[in-house]
Amino acid sequence: MQSRRFEPEDIQQALGDLRATEFERACAVWQQRFGRAPADLRERARQHRFLAARGFDGDVIGRVLRQAGAQEAGADTDTDTDTGDSDVAAN
């Protein structure tokens, strides 16, 4: 980027923005492809490899998979508290 005469501050800003959204992008890619937390270590490794092959950082992949597991665990213990009525009422 510097060879194209971008300012160093602009480069740092762009890289910071990419890092900030990498987790969100990884979640979106994971959701589109899998949508469910891995059931076992083999499936977890498969999902990890899939995201890694798309260039996501290992730490980000770990966060995505942990979040997926936590959400699924929470969904198993919660009763159906989100019926979507609040979205309808707000519109």
List, for residues 8-43, the tens digit of each pLDDT value.
898 988 888 887 789 999 999 999 999 999 999 999
Fold designation for 23-76: Arc Repressor Mutant, subunit A (1.10.10)
CA separation for the pair 78, 62 (Å, rounded) = 24
pTM above 0.75, yes or no: no
What average pLDDT does this structure show over 57-61? 94
Roughly how many angstroms between the first and final C-alpha of the chain, as a whole number?
Answer: 44
Structure tokens at 14: 């762009």
Domain boundaries, the chain: 23-76
Q: How many CA atoms lie within 13 A of 68 on its CB side?
A: 27
Structure tokens at 1: 């980027």
Question: What pLDDT, on a 0 to 100 scale, did the predictor assign at position 3?
Answer: 60
